């Protein structure tokens, strides 16, 4: 599919793609995709106002009916999977297979949300008083602000929006300023679903496009009770503090510094595949990308040379080409940050393999790189910063408890894995004395989580959970209700008040 076919299939018009001041270039070749209109502060204010109005209507629609809207939306996504997947590739540079995978994640979360729309269960709780019942209700919360990052330009919105909408909320989306076009396309597909559904209030989903200042309007607005933000720890610290200052709620899904431990009992073929996808997939630009590898000294010489050989033969290039495994970095800043991190590692005695710019002559305005492996010397115990690029730091270890400790000894706590066929090693890793991350996998890499589990991490990753399991509770308001069906009014704790 070429650019024009993608735009046509997604019904993107010149009026939407041109005439604005936000220039969007494809990371694949640097070519202009569009110049997009940005939302100004006054506009954002109107959109938030309309979102409140839509919420007041939507919250009274029965939840299974709300699910019906998401069912229709999921079917539209099925129909547009190829075009939207290709647009994701065009705008954020991930390879087409991963662009398709991202849209599949949207479809999966829609299915999950449809089922959920009939399962927003509360508890009944035994009352200590005769003739009394206690119940827990989950109520809609209000407009939900969703701030998403460039690397998952559409799936992250869908995890949040599909749940938020079946929970009875309206949504306001601030996408990354690097990927507004996919957001416009998705917003239009959602509006089409609303039209087919027929009973959705106007403005149920709003889109605000712009830079940091426009995101701040959302973050600081007391009419938006929940902000779900995905991005860097720096951004999350700022958002978290601002929302907390007004006693709003947040779901924060921030940086990762994910490690894989390979024990002497690992199936090395599996480990090899898991590491490769985790470290070079999405050109190292997933929050779940594998950044650190702890390899036991007994298997180091079997695994690490094999990885280097594979790194040497990776097909790097046009992300729309089906043969490509590694697409470009998002932009020049990202490239510079990668180079700085590699220089720092070399200064510390790290042995750097790969890491330089690729295809510069063919694509002078795009930033392709050779993914890097850095073998770290024994004198360096860890790497504690996340660099959003394909750098895999490798450490040799001799004792599993110490490897787990080093894995945990970073500010972030998103994803982690162990490769082992020894049940005791695997169980230790997923025990209270094991990984401290929100995700701890066995014989699977750090990235590529399914939507059915709760997704998110601890420490500076922000503590939020999105997607499956009971993450939906984060989008609702818990209400405890005690009901008296007797003719007496006994007080709790046996208190006597008056006669
Ligand atoms: C992200 O990088 O922000 O687990 C999300 C994964 C994907 C989601 C990543 N399902 O790698």
Confidence tier at 275 by pLDDT (50, 70, 90): very high
Quote the ligand 1 centre to 255 CA distance (angstroms): 11
Burial of 212 (0-12, 13-18, 19+ CB in 10 A): exposed
pLDDT one-digit tens code per residue, 74-113: 999 999 999 999 999 999 999 999 999 999 999 999 999 9
Write down the pTM of the prediction: 0.97
Give residue 1's pLDDT.
Answer: 86
Give residue 171's pLDDT.
Answer: 98
In-domain check, residue 494: no
* DSSP single-letter state for residue 40: P
Confidence tier at 49 by pLDDT (50, 70, 90): very high
Query: For a pLDDT cut of 70, what percent of the chain falls above it?
Result: 100
Question: How far apart (Å, rounded) are the C-alpha atoms in residues 61 and 41?
Answer: 31
- Judgement on whether residues 172 and 44 belong to the same structural domain of the protein: yes
Q: Averaged over 219-243, what is the pLDDT?
A: 97
Mean pLDDT of the chain: 97
Mutate which of 94, 112, 448, 465 for ligand 1? The one with the most ligand atoms within 8 Å of its CB, which is 448
- Judgement on whether residues 193 and 215 belong to the same structural domain of the protein: yes
Q: Where are the alpha helices (DSSP H) in 124-228?
A: 155-166, 180-197, 212-220
CB 140 within 8 A of CB 59: yes
Q: Which residue, among 328, 322, 334, has the nearest Cα to 362 in the 3D structure? A: 328
In-domain check, residue 492: no
Quote the ligand 1 centre to 440 CA distance (angstroms): 14
Give residue 203's pLDDT.
Answer: 97
Token pair 């408890």 in the structure block, residue: 401
- Judgement on whether residues 221 and 87 belong to the same structural domain of the protein: yes
Total length of the chain:
499
pLDDT of residue 230 exceeding 90, the answer is yes
In-domain check, residue 210: yes
pLDDT of residue 499 exceeding 80, the answer is no
In the chain the first and final C-alpha atoms are separated, in Å, by: 81
- Judgement on whether residues 249 and 297 belong to the same structural domain of the protein: no
Burial of 457 (0-12, 13-18, 19+ CB in 10 A): buried
pLDDT one-digit tens code per residue, 179-214: 999 999 999 999 999 999 999 999 999 999 999 999
Reported ipTM: 0.97
Encoding tokens for residue 284?
A: 């190292």
**For 302, phi and psi rounded to 5 degrees?**
-90, -35
Quote the ligand 1 centre to 51 CA distance (angstroms): 28
Q: What is the largest CA-CA distance in the chain?
A: 91
- Judgement on whether residues 131 and 202 belong to the same structural domain of the protein: yes
Ligand 1 atom with minimal separation from the 449 CA:
4
Q: Which residue, among 173, 161, 188, has the nearest Cα to 87 in the 3D structure? A: 188
Q: Which residue, among 95, 117, 460, has the nearest Cα to 256 in the 3D structure? A: 460
Confidence tier at 448 by pLDDT (50, 70, 90): very high
Q: Is 79 a catalytic residue?
A: no
Q: Which residue, among 256, 260, 255, 257, has the nearest Cα to 395 in the 3D structure? A: 260
Ligand 1 atom with minimal separation from the 105 CA:
10
In-domain check, residue 345: yes
In-domain check, residue 487: no
- Judgement on whether residues 471 and 384 belong to the same structural domain of the protein: no
Residue 128: Cβ within 10 Å count: 11
pLDDT one-digit tens code per residue, 384-435: 999 999 999 999 999 999 999 999 999 999 999 999 999 999 999 999 999 9
Per annotation, catalytic residue among 16, 68, 102, 253: 253
Q: Which range of residues forms the domain containing residue 445?
A: 258-451
**For 223, phi and psi rounded to 5 degrees?**
-75, -10
In-domain check, residue 25: yes
- Judgement on whether residues 466 and 441 belong to the same structural domain of the protein: no
- Judgement on whether residues 171 and 37 belong to the same structural domain of the protein: yes
Residue 65: Cβ within 10 Å count: 12
SS3 227: strand
- Judgement on whether residues 248 and 263 belong to the same structural domain of the protein: no
Radius of gyration of the CA atoms of the chain, in A: 24
Tally the domains of the chain: 2
In-domain check, residue 456: no
- Judgement on whether residues 50 and 129 belong to the same structural domain of the protein: yes
117, 144, 164, 169 from 55: Cα distances, Å = 16, 10, 11, 6
CATH code of the domain covering residue 151: 3.40.605.10
Q: Averaged over 275-304, what is the pLDDT?
A: 98
- Judgement on whether residues 162 and 36 belong to the same structural domain of the protein: yes
In-domain check, residue 145: yes
Ligand 1 atom with minimal separation from the 450 CA:
10
Q: Which residues line ligand 1 (CB under 6 A)?
A: 105, 151-152, 156, 230, 286-288, 447-449
Question: How far apart (Å, rounded) are the C-alpha atoms in residues 184 and 469?
Answer: 29
Quote the ligand 1 centre to 455 CA distance (angstroms): 8
CB 443 within 8 A of CB 270: yes
CATH code of the domain covering residue 370: 3.40.309.10
Question: How far apart (Å, rounded) are the C-alpha atoms in residues 147 and 126?
Answer: 40
- Judgement on whether residues 122 and 154 belong to the same structural domain of the protein: yes
Among protein residues, the one with the nearest Cα to ligand 1's atom 3 is 287
List residues bridging with 36 in a β-sheet.
22
Quote the ligand 1 centre to 128 CA distance (angstroms): 45
């Amino acid at each position: 599919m070429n650019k024009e076919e993608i735009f046509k299939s997604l019904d993107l018009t010149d009026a939407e793609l041109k005439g604005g001041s936000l220039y969007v270039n494809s990371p694949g070749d640097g070519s202009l995709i569009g110049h997009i209109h940005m939302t100004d502060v006054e506009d954002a204010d109107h959109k938030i106002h309309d979102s409140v109005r839509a919420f007041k209507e939507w919250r009274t629609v029965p939840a299974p009916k709300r699910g019906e809207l998401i069912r229709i939306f999921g079917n539209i996504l099925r129909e547009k999977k190829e075009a939207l997947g290709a647009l994701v590739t065009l705008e954020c540079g991930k390879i087409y297979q991963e662009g398709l995978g991202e849209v599949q994640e949207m479809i999966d979360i829609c299915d999950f949300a449809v089922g959920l729309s009939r399962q927003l269960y509360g508890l009944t709780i035994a009352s200590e008083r005769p003739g009394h019942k206690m119940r827990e209700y989950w109520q809609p919360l209000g407009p939900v602000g969703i701030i998403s990052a460039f690397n998952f330009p559409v799936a992250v919105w869908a995890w949040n929006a599909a749940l938020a909408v079946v929970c009875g909320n309206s949504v306001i989306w601030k996408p990354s300023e690097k990927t507004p076009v996919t957001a416009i396309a998705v917003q239009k597909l959602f509006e089409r679903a609303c039209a087919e559904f027929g009973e959705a209030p106007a403005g149920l989903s709003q889109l605000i496009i712009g830079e940091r200042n426009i995101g701040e309007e959302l973050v600081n607005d007391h009419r938006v009770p929940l902000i779900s933000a995905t991005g860097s720890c720096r951004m999350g610290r700022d958002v978290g503090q601002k929302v907390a200052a007004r006693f709003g709620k947040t779901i924060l899904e921030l940086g990762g510094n994910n490690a894989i431990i390979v024990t002497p009992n690992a199936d090395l073929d599996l480990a090899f595949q898991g590491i490769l996808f985790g470290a070079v997939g999405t050109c190292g630009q997933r929050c779940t990308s594998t950044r650190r590898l702890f390899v036991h000294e007994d298997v180091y010489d079997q695994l690490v040379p094999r990885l280097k050989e594979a790194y040497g033969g990776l097909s790097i290039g046009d992300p729309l080409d089906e043969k490509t495994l590694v697409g470009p970095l998002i932009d020049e800043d990202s490239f510079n940050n990668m180079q700085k991190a590699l220089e720092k590692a070399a200064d510390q005695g790290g042995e750097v393999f790969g890491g330089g710019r690729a295809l510069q002559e063919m694509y002078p305005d795009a930033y392709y790189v050779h993914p890097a492996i850095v073998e770290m010397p024994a004198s360096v115990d860890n790497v504690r910063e996340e660099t959003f690029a394909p750098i895999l730091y490798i450490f040799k270890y001799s004792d599993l408890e110490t490897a787990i400790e080093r894995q945990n000894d970073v500010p972030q706590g998103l994803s982690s894995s162990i490769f082992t066929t020894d049940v005791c090693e695997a169980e230790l890793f997923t025990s209270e004395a094991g990984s401290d991350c929100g995700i701890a996998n066995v014989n699977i890499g750090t990235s590529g989580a399914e939507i059915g589990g709760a997704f998110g991490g601890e420490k500076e990753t922000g503590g939020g959970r999105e997607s499956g399991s009971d993450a939906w509770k984060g989008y609702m308001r818990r209400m405890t209700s005690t009901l008296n069906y007797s003719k007496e009014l006994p007080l709790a704790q046996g208190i006597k008040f008056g006669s």
